[in-house]
Structure 1
Amino acid sequence: MKTKFVNVWDNRSWGYIGFIVLQVEDTDKFLTEKNFNPGYKFVIQAWYSHVGAAGGHTFIPSHREGIQEKSRKIDTNEADVFGLYLSNIKDIYDIPDDLYTKNFWGIMNTKREDDQEDEELECPSDEYYKVAFKRQSKSFNQMASLLEKQNDFRNEIFSYEELNDLQNIISESRNKMIQMGADLNQESLQVYYGFVHKKTLELKNVYWALGTDGNERVIDKYLWTLNDEMPREIWDDVKRTNEDNDDISRDDELYYSEN
């Protein structure tokens, strides 16, 4: 039986999950006699406290045979991305020790987009502007540092016990991310687009997409939408009007304001 150890990195190379792959050979009579034909692969997720296993010849999610579907114990998207890759591999020894999978995530990370496609995203062009905006997400270390600096503010809100719990959560999260190889200083940029009512300034049908090319897909949709672009000068008013809308933040910036 062939054995391969692989680190499957996420789409932004923030971290990875380890997998062990076993492949049945002709000489593995113990398995071939039990109808495990040569080429059959066992996939083991080597993530401490989340160990799981699945088996098969192919693992193509679009055929409803992704690794997560074949084994409920394995519940990471990295697993299904790896399965999609494995389905085209004849010899697991050809798999690199570190598998970077950016080209596969566009296939895997479409659930959010598919859910939104089921809705009527577009709004009447005579009633709504289109708007594109962006949000810069802070890194884990930046968020933790901001929280740790707010001691006075935190003491007014949290009890001593709650502060200890919060510190423990931060510490445990940091350790888990380090174990996964995550970059704790990595920031990310997300682009959104939606529609603003010309009279009420209400924002609705905000769209975004996951995956390595998610922002590009959002921008493409925005550019092809026939509605007029929202005037830049009303952006602050739009944010104030939609303060209770979770789809927008007061720190969000117009995407096209620099173009």
Structure 2
Amino acid sequence: MRPLGGFLMLLGAASCGLYLLSARLSPGGPLGAGRSLKFPSDLEELRELAEFLQYYKQEHQSYVLLLFCAAYLYKQSFAIPGSSFLNILGGALFGPWIGLLLCSALTSVGATCCYLLSRAFGKQFVVYWFPDKVAMLQRKVEENRSCLFFFLLFLRLFPMTPNWFLNLASPILNIPVSQFFFSVLIGLIPYNFICVQMGAILSQITSLDAIFSWGTLLKLLAIAMVALIPGTLIKQFSRTHLKLDEKDQNVCLLNGKKST
């Protein structure tokens, strides 16, 4: 019970810290927001939150950046799915390129924090609750130990299991933390790129007609083409160098979305 108690203490401290940060933008706070903040669960809540934070970002840019980073790391560190909404929010708040750099860095740091928390507190719980998934990943990792980094890139681009579970299970699979960090940083760039670019585009749309304009459609097409390039290269590499069965190599067709 000691690992569980330590984890709960960390979770409680992080939750309190994030709450105190967000409370400054809540009713009665120094910035007088007139509303409470919460993680968005759908696109409508995301749009409202983006408009709300964009307003305060005009005079409190550093504080909004701090709050965004804290919320992102909180979700990633404690394996809470739904960071795609934060990627879109990052694009809306900070623009397509700064947003991409920021979200890629936060994804890597947050996932590494999750890795370290799992190594310190969660190994026995992950094995207990997900024995089949851990065994499957362990077998695949050992089969591809000679080219482990490229296998990790493949898992991020075409996940056999959600990214949050990969973060939790990686310490159990004896994956070095350095390879883990850079595989997340590089492997999730296409996914982060799509989300951030979508956020940047949506923040500029003021009417429904603008969604179907030639400019917007061409931007979406360009985003899709750019995001496909790294996945295509890694998939070609996997066919000749990684030990994967046919189901693994076609997993990208079976996973319509990522859970990060």
TM-score by length of 2: 0.24
More strand per residue: 1
Q: Which has the higher contact order (CA 8 A, sep 6+)?
A: 2
More helix per residue: 2
TM-score by length of 1: 0.25
User: Larger Rg: 1 or 2?
Assistant: 1
